[in-house]
Amino acid sequence: MNMNQINTGNYTTLPKLSDIETSHSIRMLRRIHSEIEKTGGAISFARFMELALYEPALGYYCAGARKFGPDGDFITAPELSILFSRCLAHQCREILDQIGGGIILELGAGTGIMAAVILQELHTLDTLPESYAILELSFELRMRQRQTISKLVPELLNRVIWLEQLPRSDIKGIVLGNEVLDALPVERFLITTTGPRRLGVAWTDMYTTTGSTNGLCWTECKEDQSIITTISKIEAELGYKLPENYVSEYAPQLTNWIYAISDMLTTGALIFIDYGYSRREYYHPDRADGTLLCHYRHHAHTDPFIFPGLQDITASVDFTALANIAQSINLNLAGYTSQNYFLFGCGIMELLSDVDITNTFHYLEQARQVKLLTLPGEMGDRFKVICLTRGFDIPLRGFSIRNERNRL
Ligand SMILES: C[S@@+](CC[C@H](N)C(=O)[O-])C[C@H]1O[C@@H](n2cnc3c(N)ncnc32)[C@H](O)[C@@H]1O
């Protein structure tokens, strides 16, 4: 076994790693390898994803990689434009007004830019939440969030609290998550002639055609009742069997996650924005290779085994799964729509028209951002917004243009 090289798979166009990155990734790889050895030769893909993203000091979100923005690996909507977070603030205002105030809890806040802009906008609208809590697993990101908020809205920093786990007490208010569900570890499965099998992660000492010696590889696990039950349930809801050789994913932690959030919410709303599909689109027979997507310095590809600890790994969200879980625990599916309709409903064009047009450069830049956030083919239709509510029932502005909840 040689663990002194990092596999680039077939992706010869990926940027070269620095020496520091290489040694970091090798340490991550050793950590994964030792767990594979300890567990008898294979770990589940969900466990691999958990290690690669969240292992303290080594995982992608828990070590020092830049991650967000032009110098990082990907750009999220709040990083792209403050108009995105300003629109969300307008949706929050409507809900907070309706339920008589409350808190905002943001899950996985990245650099903290969304928190800062929402607080600023709600301050201007005179609807500040009682507090703005951020649940963030990564210590490094918690530090970055504090810096961003201190820099942009120092006068509102005292409203912000950081949590490492969900609050134990009841809360009234709004739970927000942008591109958080896609970062939850997923299980991957393959439909074989004898039924669905879990695809785990193993180690091989074989040299690949590219000559690399990084030996992480997929392995078909033994028959396992939990995967058979999960896939049978999905197939029963779809009304058809998934074809042989079909590969896809599901998020095993999603149910407990939503249960835990729902348990603490007395009145209010959950709003999640992410890329994903209804179940019928997610498990469409043509989508036969699943939805895994990895990002390294703005290169998107589908190999989760290269650059462990240095690249982001995501999977699309099955929004029907989310809606089903929610409805089973008495959360109302208030809305589901594409990001573009949500932003139009929240007034993005009005916000743009308030920008000083005589400052041509600034105006054109904001107009460009609106295009990227809303155009089909860009973020406009790839990203979806779902809102689950409890204890109040009003039509919400984000879903006023088009509400597609019946598609879930
Ligand atoms: C793709 S980033 C999105 C960051 C930010 N929301 C944005 O839009 O720029 C995913 C974020 O989710 C966080 N995260 C992932 N799993 C989490 C969990 N179980 N609880 C809280 N945060 C989580 C990560 O640490 C990271 O901040």
Residue 155 sits in the same domain as residue 277: yes
In a 13 Å sphere around the CA of 384, the CA atoms on its Cβ side amount to 23
Instruction: Specify if 67 maps to a domain.
Output: no
Euclidean distance between CA atoms 267 and 173, whole angstroms: 6
For residues 25 and 6, the answer to whether their CB atoms sit within 8 Å is yes
For atom 24 of ligand 1, the residue with the nearest CA is 108
Residue 106 CA: nearest ligand 1 atom is 6
Euclidean distance between CA atoms 24 and 267, whole angstroms: 44
Query: What pLDDT score does 17 carry?
Result: 85
Instruction: Specify if 63 maps to a domain.
Output: no
Q: How far is the CA of 19 from the centre of ligand 1 (A)?
A: 27
DSSP state of 309: T
Residue 276 sits in the same domain as residue 371: yes
Euclidean distance between CA atoms 99 and 400, whole angstroms: 19
Token look-up 């695809």 returns 199
Instruction: Specify if 5 maps to a domain.
Output: no
Residue 272 sits in the same domain as residue 327: yes
Question: CA triplet 136, 138, 139: central angle to 5 degrees?
Answer: 105
Task: Give the total number of structural domains in the chain.
Answer: 2
User: Which residues, 6 or more positions from 337, have their beta carbon under 8 angstroms from its beta carbon?
Assistant: 345, 384, 385, 398, 399, 401, 402, 403, 404
Ligand 1: residue of 180, 184, 272 to mutate (most ligand atoms within 8 A of CB) is 180
For residues 224 and 245, the answer to whether their CB atoms sit within 8 Å is no
Is the CA virtual torsion 143, 148, 154, 160 positive or negative?
negative
Q: Is the CB of 79 under 6 A from ligand 1?
A: yes
Instruction: Specify if 65 maps to a domain.
Output: no
Q: Is the CB of 178 under 6 A from ligand 1?
A: yes
Q: Is the CB of 59 under 6 A from ligand 1?
A: no
Q: Is the CB of 136 under 6 A from ligand 1?
A: yes
pTM above 0.85, yes or no: yes
Instruction: Specify if 127 maps to a domain.
Output: yes
Residue 191 sits in the same domain as residue 302: yes
Residue 272 sits in the same domain as residue 375: yes
For atom 4 of ligand 1, the residue with the nearest CA is 110
Q: Is the CB of 138 under 6 A from ligand 1?
A: yes
Q: Is the CB of 271 under 6 A from ligand 1?
A: no
Q: How far is the CA of 135 from the centre of ligand 1 (A)?
A: 9
Residue 173 sits in the same domain as residue 122: yes
Q: Is the CB of 251 under 6 A from ligand 1?
A: no
Which residue range(s) make up the domain with 347? 77-183+255-281+316-407
Q: Is the CB of 106 under 6 A from ligand 1?
A: no
Q: Is the CB of 61 under 6 A from ligand 1?
A: yes
- Tell me the mean pLDDT per 10 residues along the chain, length 408: 51 78 91 95 96 94 76 88 98 98 97 98 98 93 96 98 92 97 96 96 70 76 93 96 97 96 96 97 96 91 92 96 95 98 98 92 95 93 97 96 96
Residue 265 sits in the same domain as residue 375: yes
Q: Is the CB of 191 under 6 A from ligand 1?
A: no
Residue 376 sits in the same domain as residue 387: yes
Residue 111 CA: nearest ligand 1 atom is 9
Q: How far is the CA of 108 from the centre of ligand 1 (A)?
A: 3
The pairing of strands 132-135 and 293-296 is unpaired
Residue 82 sits in the same domain as residue 155: yes
Instruction: Specify if 245 maps to a domain.
Output: yes
Euclidean distance between CA atoms 62 and 289, whole angstroms: 29
SS3 128: coil
Residue 135 CA: nearest ligand 1 atom is 21
Query: What pLDDT score does 1 carry?
Result: 41
Q: How far is the CA of 204 from the centre of ligand 1 (A)?
A: 31
Residue 99 sits in the same domain as residue 157: yes
Instruction: Specify if 62 maps to a domain.
Output: no
Residue 113 CA: nearest ligand 1 atom is 9
DSSP state of 280: H
Instruction: Specify if 212 maps to a domain.
Output: yes
Q: Is the CB of 104 under 6 A from ligand 1?
A: no
Residue 400 sits in the same domain as residue 259: yes
Cα distances (Å, whole numbers) of residue 5 to 19, 28, 43, 290, 292: 11, 12, 22, 28, 24
The pairing of strands 187-192 and 265-277 is unpaired
User: Which residues, 6 or more positions from 56, have their beta carbon under 8 angstroms from its beta carbon?
Assistant: 62, 139
**CATH number for the domain including 396?**
3.40.50.12710
Residue 206 sits in the same domain as residue 274: no
